[in-house]
Structure 1
Amino acid sequence: MVRSRPLKVALLGCGVVGSQVARLMTTHADDLAARIGAPVELAGVAVRRPAKVRGDLPPGLVTTDAAGLVGRGDIDVVVELIGGIEPARSLITAAFENGAGVVTANKALLAQDGPTLHAAAAAHGADLYFEASVAGAIPLLRPLRESLAGDTVNRVLGIVNGTTNFILDRMDSTGASYGDALEEATALGYAEADPTADVEGFDAAAKAAILSGIAFHSRVALDDVHREGITEVTAADIASARRMGCTVKLLAICERAQDGRSVTARVHPAMIPLTHPLASVREAYNAVFVEAEAAGQLMFYGPGAGGVPTASAVLGDLVAACRNKIGGGRGPGESAYAALPVGPMGEVVTRYHISLDVSDKPGVLAQVATVFAGQGVSIDTVRQTGKDGEAQLVVVTHRAPDAALVATVEALRRLDSVHGVASIMRVEGE
Structure 2
Amino acid sequence: MIKVGILGVGTVGASVANILEENADIIEARAGKKIVVKHGVVKNLSKDRGVNIPLSDNVDDILNDPEIDIVVELMGGVEKPYAVVKKALESGKAVVTANKALLAYHRYELQEIAGDTPLMYEASTAGGIPIIGAMRNGLTANHIESIQGIMNGTTNYMLTKMINEGAKYDEILKEAQDLGYAEADPTFDVGGFDASHKLLILASIAYGIDAKPEDILIEGIENITQTDVTFAKEFGYEIKLLGIAKKVENGVELRVHPTMISQNSMIAKVDGVMNAVSVVGDRVGETMYYGAGAGGDATASAVIADIVDIVRGNHGPMLGYKKGLEGSGLELLPEEEIVTNYYLRMEVDDQSGVLASITRELEKFNISIESMLQKPHSNDERVKLLFTTHKCQEAKIQEAMVVLKKLDCIYGEIAMMRIEK
TM over 0.5: yes
**Where do 5+ consecutive residues of structure 1 fail to align?**
1-5
Contact 1:281 1:287 in 2 (8 A): yes
| AA aligned opposite 2:50 | G
What SS does structure 2 have at the residue aligned with 1:388?
coil
CA distance in 2, matches of 1:215, 1:223: 20
Residue among 271, 281, 297 paired with 1:282: 271
CA distance in 2, matches of 1:412, 1:142: 47
Is 1:410 the equivalent of 2:402? yes
What SS does structure 2 have at the residue aligned with 1:51?
coil
Is 1:396 the equivalent of 2:388? yes
| AA aligned opposite 1:307 | G
Residue among 222, 226, 229 paired with 2:213: 222
Residue among 7, 11, 16 paired with 1:16: 11
Equivalence for 1:377: 367
CA displacement at 1:51 relative to structure 2: 1.9
CA distance in 2, matches of 1:112, 1:56: 31
What SS does structure 1 have at the residue aligned with 2:294?
coil
TM-score by length of 1: 0.93
| AA aligned opposite 1:8 | K
Equivalence for 1:419: 411
What SS does structure 2 have at the residue aligned with 1:362?
coil
Is 1:35 the equivalent of 2:24? no
Residue among 243, 254, 270 paired with 2:259: 270
Distance 1:191 1:264, change over 3 A: same
CA displacement at 1:330 relative to structure 2: 4.5
Is 1:69 the equivalent of 2:56? no
CA distance in 1, matches of 2:234, 2:413: 19
The CA deviation string for residues 74-120 of structure 1, in whole angstroms up to 9 with x for no partner, is 21100111111132111111111111110000000100011011111
CA RMSD after TM alignment: 1.4
**1:139-288, aligned counterparts within 5 Å?**
139-257=130-248, 259=249, 261-288=250-277
Structure 1 stretch 312-321 or stretch 331-340: which is displaced more?
331-340
CA displacement at 1:162 relative to structure 2: 0.2
| AA aligned opposite 1:333 | M
Where has structure 1 moved over 6 Å in runs of 4 or more? none
- Between the aligned residues of both structures, percent identity stands at 38
Contact 1:76 1:322 in 2 (8 A): no
CA distance in 1, matches of 2:414, 2:212: 32
Equivalence for 1:333: 318
What SS does structure 2 have at the residue aligned with 1:34?
helix
CA displacement at 1:206 relative to structure 2: 0.5
CA displacement at 1:333 relative to structure 2: 2.5
| AA aligned opposite 1:126 | T
Equivalence for 1:3: none
Is 1:295 the equivalent of 2:274? no
The CA deviation string for residues 156-215 of structure 1, in whole angstroms up to 9 with x for no partner, is 011000000001111111111111111111122211222111011110010111111111
**Where do 5+ consecutive residues of structure 2 fail to align?**
none
Is 1:90 the equivalent of 2:77? no
CA displacement at 1:391 relative to structure 2: 2.1
What SS does structure 1 have at the residue aligned with 2:20?
helix
Equivalence for 1:320: 309
Equivalence for 2:113: 120
What SS does structure 2 have at the residue aligned with 1:356?
strand
CA distance in 2, matches of 1:219, 1:407: 29
TM-score by length of 2: 0.95
